[in-house]
Structure 1
């Protein structure tokens, strides 16, 4: 059965839905469906492949649902745009007496992000250590920064970046650059782009987004300068 679990997890990581379905058929054939590990693996595979209905069916058949099965189902719902359903399931998990871990709470923040639930996300983020004993990780900070940026709360997002007890990485600055583009914030766009030029100098998408921000406010000279940098294959820290 361990080999079957490994194969299902491989299918999940590769989003290989058809192969996962074949594994499911074998599990049914050999009577392994009552196995908790097999059930968890099926939920994880279907959820990651985006087949939420089948993930939900597999989830309902898992005997003695534990943290792994709850987290897989909540994560699948959150990842595929079912934010409200993910949060409802999280409440059910708590009612069932299961304590979330850092992975579950990343999915919860992700669900809040997709559902536009800013105040709820702030509450989960601020109370996660006190309520569940989970210290916020870099991934939790990145989720919150992305959420605040998308919601137009750019000052709060940058404040959180400055307060992070970790080195900021490209996912954080990428989220801020995306937010700056959405909300036409040139100053934040320049700051984020400059950091990304250092962290990922080979990534052309940064220059494209920066040019888009300049274009959105009619700063055509800056657009032209960024495009020249793209053409030359060079990046300066501060386009002038």
Structure 2
């Protein structure tokens, strides 16, 4: 896998390069202005583009949007120290495949890279509520009913514990919060999540949440 990293934070960039190389990923690390990413993409045509979003978010989005216009199949993951709701919506709008907070750690980014490389999207768990809000807006625009529906748990598909974890996902809880809420270990939570994704035929938390809401499996 050939990955290009564009990151102005030297320490973070070097850390990513070292860790990804140790995972057998071919890395090209660059410190360039975000406005030059299209030229860089044409130079390497990487499997993945990991782009650090700096203080000038709008400039970054415009540069990515231009790149996506030229190369609509480009796989881009953005990383950020912090991000606002509006930023998430813009990131989804322009077709970025992944969003990872730097505070989430290397394992989260590595998981994002592998997920996106396999053709799927990956977004940090913190954006789940934002995605839910957008989903309901789309339902309204598509003239879906907004009346209250009776919640029906997918017991024919998931176990009682898996249903509980799915409900926590909809609330936007991360693995640690779910573990604390259900008095189980984070490893157990992760095992349950893996089973849920397989049973529901989804690839990540966001897809599981949207499916649960669409099917009326959870109250919100």
- Indicate the TM-score class for this superposition, using the shorter chain for normalisation: 0.3 to 0.5
Give 1 or 2: higher helix fraction: 1
Give 1 or 2: higher strand fraction: 2
More relative contact order, 1 or 2 (CA 8 Å, 6+ apart): 2
TM (norm. structure 1) is 0.32
TM (norm. structure 2) is 0.33
